[in-house]
Amino acid sequence: MSSPDSFETRLSAVLTVATQVVAFRSAQTDQMDSLRNRLVDQAESLLNSTGVTGVVFNATAEDGWLIPDDLQPILVPILAAVSSLLVAVLLRFQFYFRWAKLIGAAAQLESQIFQFRAHAGNYRLMGPVEDVEGGDAAMRSKNSRELHARQLFKQRCEVILRGVGSLGLRRVVTLTTLTWGNGNAASDREEQIMMLQRQPRHRYLNRLCCCKREAGSEVVPEALLFEAVSGRHRNGRYRKSKMGDSDQLGCGCLSVDEYFRLRFSPCLHDMEEDVACLGCIVKLGDLISIGLTVASTVFATFGFPFVTAVLVAVEVALQGLKKHFAWLPRLNVAIAAVEDLRCCELEWNSAEPLPKRLPNMLNQIVSSTEHAKLQHVHAATAGSSALNRTSAPE
pLDDT of residue 172: 36
pLDDT of residue 380: 36
Write the single-letter amino acid at 166.
S
Measured between alpha carbons, how far is 3 from 20 in angstroms, rounded to an integer?
Answer: 26
pLDDT of residue 60: 46
Q: Which residues contact 372 (CB under 8 A, 6 or more apart)?
A: 99, 102, 103, 106, 327, 379, 380
3-state secondary structure of 180: coil
pLDDT of residue 300: 75
pLDDT of residue 291: 78
pTM metric for this prediction: 0.33
Write the single-letter amino acid at 21.
V
3-state secondary structure of 263: helix
pLDDT of residue 299: 79
Phi-psi region of 53 (alpha: psi -120 to 50; beta: other; left: phi over 0): beta
Alpha helices in the chain (DSSP H): 4-26, 32-49, 72-122, 137-160, 169-174, 185-198, 201-215, 222-230, 256-259, 265-301, 305-322, 328-342, 358-369, 371-375, 377-390
Q: What is the pLDDT along the chain (394 residues), one digit of tens a residue?
A: 444 455 556 666 666 665 555 555 554 444 455 655 665 666 566 556 655 554 444 444 444 445 566 666 666 666 666 666 665 565 555 555 545 544 554 455 445 544 544 444 444 444 444 444 444 455 455 556 556 655 655 565 555 545 444 443 333 333 332 333 344 444 555 555 555 545 544 444 454 444 444 444 444 444 433 444 433 334 333 333 333 333 333 333 445 455 555 655 555 565 556 555 656 666 776 777 777 777 877 777 777 777 777 777 777 777 766 665 555 555 555 555 555 555 555 544 444 455 555 555 555 555 554 443 433 333 333 433 433 443 334 3
| Contact between residue 108 and residue 387 where contact means Cβ atoms under 8 Å apart | yes
Is residue 194 packed enough to be buried (19+ CB in 10 Å), middle (13-18) or exposed (0-12)? exposed
Rounded to 5°, the CA angle 303-305-311 comes to 115
| Contact between residue 38 and residue 270 where contact means Cβ atoms under 8 Å apart | no
Rounded to 5°, the CA angle 21-22-23 comes to 90
- Residue 237 pairs in a beta bridge with 221
Instruction: Please give the C-alpha separations between residue 235 and each of 42, 139, 221, 224, 341, in angstroms, as whole numbers.
Output: 57, 45, 8, 9, 22
Phi, psi values for residue 266, rounded to 5°: -65, -40
